[in-house]
Amino acid sequence: MTQVVPSTTIVIPTIGRPSLRTLLEALAGGSRTVDVPVLVVDDRPRADESLEGSLADLAAALPGLRVLQSGGGGPARARNLGWRHARTEWVSFLDDDVVPDDDWYEALQGDLALLGGTVAGSAGLLRVPLPRGRRPTDWERSTAGLETATWITADMSYRRAALVGVGGFDERFPRAFREDADLGLRISTTQGDIVRGVRRVTHPARPADDWASVRQQKGNADDFLMRRLHGRDWRRRVQAPTGRRARHVAVVVAAAAGALGLLSGRRRIAAAAGAAWLGGTAELAWARIAPGPRDRDELRRMVLTSVAIPFAASWHSARGAWQHRHARPWQGAADLVLFDRDGTLVHDVPYNGDPALVEPVADARTALDRLRRAGIRVGVVTNQSAVGSGRITREQMEAVNQRVDELLGPFDVWQVCPHAADAGCGCRKPAPGLVKEACHLVGVPPESCVVVGDIGSDVDAAAAAGAEAILVPTGSTRRAEVESAPRLAETLSEAVDRILERVR
């Protein structure tokens, strides 16, 4: 019996590191041809050189290679853009600084093929090669910790449906730190199990400057977002080390007390506090120096950064505690936006059966293209009672729809109710039939769908189906419909702004 291999899309966020090319060349030269989409998401705010041009020579070996632009915002936003553009059952994430084994793609297919329906994620194995002939530096040991990290997205595959179910990565994590653990917690508690596969990648310890460990302390702010979202025991749940935050705070307090003692002339207090600060700093420095190579450069680096780290860690902890004090669970963007046709996408011509009379509203094309660039699928749900009442033929209706598609498409789904207003069908808005069927055909749960329309029946159909709704009033919209609408927008562009606000 032939084993069915689930389809996947490989998503690689990048900030333009040279290692990206090494990764892609490893995929291209592997033991098995990578015949699935490979989406590279360029997350540089401003790129001096287009990645499409620099990677053009790899197109023959990786025919599914495509570059998307996220324009900055961090790896969480870049990964979200990547998976939203995926149309496969699975999405496989790689970081741009890993090197897949020669059989990585073959092993990935084997990993995914073995998974049952209750499994939502599959983690690869990661190795960090350490130098031979000497002890690793503090930075190299820190990188080596990735080997045992939980749910690290350096090599992680998730069912696309699971990503939709939790809204993807939380983009309030602006750096490559904790965003993977947060996603793993949300998926494992609501969508299914996360298991470990057998595929492997190598993560080299890339070079770092003297102050890299100080900049790393920004991650303390993310720890407080984790605490707000997942409770005080989140570290135990993701198997993260407890860290040294309490010691860092004690060192900072001692330094502050020493400074105040000097300023106020209380020399004994200043001396005691200064000794405590010096002792705490020395303890931190030695804890980092002892396992390392202890050469001159490492000693200098450890002493300097050990003075700075408690202050940086405490500052970012305080900043994170304040910034995230009211954080709410992440929702993410809709995966599907359904538009009413007449009065919303095109100007309303009553009982129109003539394609020549189709005229899009002013901002329809721009609004739709913004959603498409974000990887959000779009569709149309429309009542066409003129067919059921005999005013126009089904062929005329289809010709009008085809013209709408020519001017504003392509759309991922069309759903039309051709029945007369008094037919009592379950599809005519405000009934939920059109919305539910559109979601079913695209494979999106209604709660991940937004319906945009111009009258109350559009809003009511969305509510009945379990979707969200945005009303864009026109001259045909009654005042009562405006007053009762859960969300309003003056234009289609403003409606799209509101939809995309959830991913910013």
* Strand-pair category, 449-453 with 336-339: parallel
Query: In this structure, are residues 170 and 61 in contact, taking their beta carbons and an 8 Å threshold?
Result: no
Neighbour-count burial of 438, counting CB atoms closer than 10 A to its CB (0-12 exposed, 13-18 middle, 19+ buried): buried
Residue 447: strand, helix, or coil: helix
Question: How far, in Å, CA of 274 to CA of 280, rounded?
Answer: 10
Question: How far, in Å, CA of 303 to CA of 108, rounded?
Answer: 43
DSSP conformational letter for 481: H
Which is nearest to 368 in space by CA: 346, 350, 347, 397?
Answer: 346
Ordered alpha helix ranges (H), 234-354:
234-238, 245-264, 267-289, 296-323
The residues that are catalytic are 340, 342
Query: In this structure, are residues 142 and 213 in contact, taking their beta carbons and an 8 Å threshold?
Result: yes
Q: What is the DSSP string of 126-177?
A: EE-PPPSSSPPPHHHHHHHGGGG-TT-TTEEEEEHHHHHHHTSS-TT--SSS
Q: Where are the beta strands (DSSP E) in 430-491?
A: 449-453, 468-471
Question: How far, in Å, CA of 339 to CA of 342, rounded?
Answer: 9
